[in-house]
Chain A
């Protein structure tokens, strides 16, 4: 039982990381109908920004955190103007290729500046974790889980209860109709990119103390987050969260009880099963409507 509880905690913790990145995928997909393959690099860039401000310059953690998120918002603007906006009237394919190009550019730019060696970023808390009976709770994972839960409520409130959220939803559902109603579609898409970049950055900063800061950190998480998005139902915020958590728990238990080397295999086995038997994902109705 102790083993199960420990695995459950770790599975939920790592799943929450996937969920945070998956949220960014979903938001951009809903707004633009394309998958942003640079979403993982948003996480990586934010983690490196934290290293610059918090470690290299020695600025307070909270200030570095705010500056890093501000930097991500700026990156969201640049990304929208430089990658999405010029191709907005083209089919989805050129946009996807442009996001892949941007992802390569981002990772190689950071590689050129910082070199290939991984960096260390301290966590938010001084205490690495707490022992609760037989289960060790890593403080950083606890924070990640707490932020994920908070974001579920925040997203619900934002998209369902605020005018801006409703405008964003309207834009994602039908751009022409939203435009006819006086909503500035390009502004809404810009806001979506900013929000997604900040969310991706938040995931990167939160996970960096656990996985270290490296060039590959974004792509490794993004691949799982992408799978989580498909499992949850592409285009659904709740689906991204549930998909991420499910993936984390499945791969952790699969590794413990079946095979460690095939840990990644379990995640993608579930993905294949979903693609065959329920391609629209757990919460897939909206995707079906869009299609």
Chain B
């Protein structure tokens, strides 16, 4: 066969145009893409795996039900390395893909803070699990939260201790890091509002090897109930054991780490009969139970908030896009904010104008090592 000049020119043109045609066809989309930043490596790699599983389960359900805007949905995952620079890099890689319509950020507030300026610049909806109240109150309209923020946990602990357990003399114990300090302040403020200011407000530094002085201070304060914000499970484990060894057996209501699987393993019987606030509690609703069963069957481990919030995030985002009938970011935003009484694994979603979907916590009890749902406390403000 003889190659003419015309054939050669046509070949060149076809060669140059082909990738563009393929990309453009892809952009117009066989699938709808959702980006996800998750810790595939780094200290939180284990919980990152749970988060990815949760998101994938939701995606499967969405696709089975007809997908998004009649197309199948696809999850594009980038490793955030459990670090702030890692998530900024991961998000920038995802943001460069113009066909991604929405994103899942992190459960860690500090990482969400790190990526927030890029989110604002991109102007597309990002679902988050970080619980620092500021995240949805700093003028970034593209962040939507799928866990109750920390201002609610303090109020729920206080409300439950004072009104359900009937205890008025509180010892408040908290880590001195950003999470613990904010939590301790929220709990103290809520107690003051309920007319029971704490008799002891005690901070501690993370990675303490010994809590004897803290336990003795609680003993001497005459407190009849303990509220706590622990950041690390090993601190919680050491404290719990020493508390019981030194004979302090007052009721104890703690932040979510008190019902964390690792904390239960480390502290064992020292945490029996304690209470904790939990954003995910398997028996708290039909939707939570359904997610729990689905997750157990698929992943073969107990579900927790690491997996439940990405599950809800993908479900709600897909529903919002379908409701909006478009992938236009502004329309998706409006659709998410209009979601009310949506039953999720984490609870009932009623989005406010700040982007917060949940406004209460579950109270669970450690019944001889088994976490049992007690009650849900919801706030309207």
Contacts and interface: CB of A to CB of B under 8 A. Distances in A.
Contacts of A128: 241, 245
B46 interface: yes
A220 B206 CA distance: 11
7 contacts: A116-B45, A138-B245, A211-B209, A255-B214, A256-B217, A260-B213, A261-B205
A7 interface: yes
Most buried by B among A115, A118, A262: A118
Interface stretch (B66-74, B135-143, B232-240): B232-240
A124 interface: no
Nearest to B175: A261
A118 B176 contact: no
Given A14-B210, A116-B43, A136 B246 contact: yes
Interface in A234-291: 252, 255-256, 260-264
Interface of B: 43-46, 176, 202-205, 207-210, 212-214, 216-217, 220, 233-234, 237-238, 241, 245-247, 262, 265-266, 268
A256 B245 contact: no
A6 B246 contact: yes
Interface of A: 3, 6-7, 10, 14, 17, 111, 115-118, 120, 128-129, 136, 138, 210-212, 214, 216, 220-221, 252, 255-256, 260-264
A221 B241 CA distance: 20
A260 B268 CA distance: 25
Given A220-B207, A260-B203, A260-B213, A117 B246 contact: no
B356 to A, nearest CB: 30
Contacts, number: 77
A261 B246 contact: no
A117 B212 CA distance: 24
B213 A118 contact: no
B262 A261 contact: no
Nearest to A215: B43
B381 to A, nearest CB: 32
A213 B65 CA distance: 46
A51 to B, nearest CB: 12
Contacts of A118: 233-234, 237, 262, 266
A99 B105 CA distance: 38
Contacts of B46: 115-117
A211 B234 contact: yes
B266 A260 contact: no
Contacts of A117: 46, 262
Contacts of A255: 213-214
A221 B234 CA distance: 14
A256 B213 contact: yes
Nearest to B246: A136
A252 B203 contact: no
Contacts of A261: 176, 203-205
A118 B238 CA distance: 12
A43 B266 CA distance: 19
A120 B266 contact: yes
Given A116-B46, A260-B204, A220 B209 contact: yes
Given A212-B234, A212-B237, A214-B234, A221 B262 contact: no
A252 B212 contact: yes
A118 B268 CA distance: 13
Contacts of B202: 260
A232 B246 CA distance: 32
Given A14-B210, A116-B43, A210 B238 contact: yes
Contact of A260 (B44, B209, B217): B217
A47 B350 CA distance: 48
B238 A211 contact: yes
Contacts of B212: 6-7, 10, 252, 256
Contact of A10 (B44, B204, B210): B210
Contacts of B245: 128-129, 136, 138
Nearest to B204: A260
A117 B44 CA distance: 9
A278 B241 CA distance: 39
With a 10 A CB-CB cut-off, give which of B207, B212, B246, B265 has the most chain A CB atoms.
B212
B170 to A, nearest CB: 17
Contacts of B265: 120
A116 B44 contact: yes
A47 to B, nearest CB: 12
Interface centre among B209, B237, B262 (most CB of A within 10 A): B209
Given A6-B212, A115-B46, A256-B217, 7 more contacts: A3-B216, A115-B45, A116-B46, A118-B234, A216-B207, A252-B212, A256-B212
A256 B262 CA distance: 28
